[in-house]
Amino acid sequence: MSTRFPLNLMVRFQFATWLASVTIPALLCAAPAAPEEVKTLEIGAPAPDFDLPGVDGKQHTLTDYRDADILAILFTCNHCPSAQGAESRIKAIVDDYADASFQLVAISPNDPESVRLNELGYSVYGDTLEDMKKHAADFEFNFPFLYDGETQSVSKAYGATATPHLFLFDKERKLRYAGRIDDSRFGDPDTIKKHDAREAINALLAGEEIAEPVTRAHGCSTKWAHKRHLVTEYNEKFEAKEVTLESIDVSGVEALRANSTDKLRLVNLWATWCGPCLGEMPHLVEIGRQFETRGFDMITISTDSTEAMEKTKILLGRFQAAMPDLTEASVKEEGRTTNNYLFDGSTDELAEALDPKWQGTLPHTVIIAPGGEIIYRVSGEIEPDEVKRAIVEKLGRWYSPK
């Protein structure tokens, strides 16, 4: 019996192979899919079920909270300044209604891969589940905090459009209130004029109708997964930027230390031969990108010999130690043209010009406030979260009207 392919089958096979080679790459390169329409639950709608992981390492479901007469489902996240500004008010609500058969469950709706680095300028952490665990521990959350970033199916079912976005359900788990926590966009409780969530909870506890059952949620928009391409484009644009390096002398370093700008300034001393310096450099580049919208500089000063200028520039290029757009604009306003320097002078001269407490070991990092005060220093490899924490502590976690 012949084992040869019939000619017509062979032609079909070759055509199918060619078609796959053409269409599959085309599909991969196609424009992002159109976003799904997300509609916020209407008053009277039943609470959608969920089965989500929490920061406590457990799975949480809607029925876990069946005993509460009032169930609050709050969509919030780590990075949003509005969400962070509301955290103290949320914790106070949980405490104040602890004896009223009231339960609040928070859910992060965001896809972490749809958040640009420079959107994290008010936060130490991003929106991954591991980051949520750290954030909840740092700020002592007194309520469950669940992660829906993997599929976002629960967030879509509720129609969570912003962080924060609150949904209040009665004993029968019918929606009675949806919207904001209160009318303040700021972190200061003294700026609140109308306590919408509390008024709604009080009405439910009293068996009364809620006067204003729907309000506008204000905060950062939910970061849906269909926006990942925007992050890719943002990263590609940055990766295409030129990395520059210039020589700097004592007077130049003294001017950086004086910091006559209104920016917070991080200065890192390093060398191409220093292993810990190279280990921390990617974190420093990321920090520079993360806080570009807050008025922030990440500056590197190499202690290599002046003969190593080209080698130093090549290595900085491999780390893509470029200036983000807003940093580049602010540097230009100062009359400078780079944030990467190679120091032309001795270790003692550099120490006296930048930080007399520096003992000469590398790497060495300082954060300088406007006016020249060093508010943070570390000799040795940085712990990225600690540096970010020092930055956020100085710049603030939420939007301020001042």
DSSP 254: H
Q: What is the pLDDT of residues 297-344, one digit of tens each?
A: 999 999 999 999 999 999 999 999 999 999 999 999 999 999 999 999
- Label residue 34 by pLDDT band (50, 70, 90): low
pLDDT confidence tier of residue 40, bands split at 50, 70 and 90? very high
Domain 51-227 identical in fold to domain 241-393: yes
Q: What does the pLDDT read at residue 300?
A: 98
Which tens digit of pLDDT belongs to each residue from 186-206?
888 889 999 999 999 999 999
Which CA distances in Å does 18 have to 5, 10, 21, 27, 119? Answer: 18, 12, 5, 14, 43
**How far apart are the C-alpha atoms of 375 and 394, rounded to whole Å?**
9
Question: How confident is the model over 268-290, as a mean pLDDT?
Answer: 98
Chain-centroid distance of CA 226 in Å reads 17
pLDDT of residue 12: 42
In angstroms, the CA 224 to CA 84 distance is 20
- For the chain, the C-alpha Rg in angstroms (whole number) is 27
Q: Does domain 241-393 have CATH number 1.10.10.10?
A: no
Q: For residue 8, what pLDDT is reported?
A: 44
Element (H, E) at 272: none
DSSP at 97: T
pTM: 0.89
- Only one residue has tokens 């965001």, namely 110
Domain spans, the chain: 51-227, 241-393
CA 375 distance to own-chain centroid? 23
- Is residue 110 a contact partner of residue 316, using CB atoms and an 8 Å limit? no
- At residue 187, the pLDDT reads 86
Which has the higher per-residue pLDDT, 50 or 27? 50
Which CATH architecture group holds 51-227?
3-Layer(aba) Sandwich (3.40)
Rounded distance, CA 52 to CA 261, Å? Answer: 46
135: enclosing H helix or E strand: helix 129-138
The Cα–Cα gap between 4 and 330 comes to: 71
Q: How high is the pLDDT of residue 26? A: 39
What does the pLDDT average to over 55-84? 98
